[in-house]
Amino acid sequence: MAKALLVLDMQEVTVGKDHAKFFSYPEDTLAKVNSVIEQNEGNLIVYIRNLMKNNFINKLALVKCFDGTKEAELAEGLLMKSDYIFDKYKGDAFSVPAFAAFLKEKSVDEVEIIGVDGGGCVSLTALGACTAGYRVRLNTAAIGTMFTAKRDKYYAKLKALGAEIVGA
């Protein structure tokens, strides 16, 4: 069996040089994520982008991230160690059937999750992974979090499900 490193939502809109002002992650978030990517060379590395559907309601949103825009691109400076990139429109990456099928095809049984946000997509994807039967590891050294109250609630739930939470 195999391990996959899942790199979530490390996009221009969230952590890029000109990121949306709404997102306030520590300046070293990208460097910490890159460090974990380097440590996982040899493992399967998968990048996941969070996108918005391009509809009337979303066009009114303060922060926009539509496919084909600069905001949706993976952040400049993000270490790219594979061409495996999946797009999601919900917090949980396991809501994307092609992504779930890809991991099965690659015989993945363990996932390590890094990226943003610990109180949102990172935790929701971890919950999806637990539900799908994967061994789950959250590496907090490379997880940016703005929504700490939600993160704490999700992490308690994840620990109860057997997820491993490690890091600085």
Q: What is the C-alpha separation between 152 and 158, in angstroms, rounded?
A: 10
Q: Classify strands 44-50 and 2-8 as parallel, antiparallel or unpaired.
A: parallel
Per-residue pLDDT at 66 exceeds 80: no
User: Per residue in 116-161, pLDDT tens?
Assistant: 999 999 999 999 999 999 999 999 999 999 999 999 999 999 999 9
- What angle in degrees, to the nearest 10, is found between the helix axes of 148-160 and 121-131? 10
| pLDDT in the model for residue 3 | 96
CATH number at residue 143: 3.40.50.850
Is residue 161 within 8 Å of residue 133, measured between CB atoms?
Answer: no
Q: Taking the model in full, what pTM does it have?
A: 0.94
Residue 117 domain boundaries: 2-166
Looking at residue 136, its pLDDT comes to: 98
Mean pLDDT of the 43-53 span: 94
Number of domains in the chain: 1
Report pLDDT for 168.
59
CA torsion sign, 117 to 127 to 74 to 51? negative
Q: Which pLDDT value is given to residue 148? A: 94
Angle ∠(121,127,131) on CA atoms, nearest 5: 140
Question: Considering just the CA atoms, what is the radius of gyration of the chain in Å?
Answer: 15
The pLDDT value recorded for residue 129 is 98
Whether the CB-CB separation of 88 and 95 falls below 8 Å is answered with: yes
pLDDT of 13 over the 70 cut: yes
For the chain, percent of residues with pLDDT exceeding 70: 98
Give the per-residue pLDDT at 102.
98
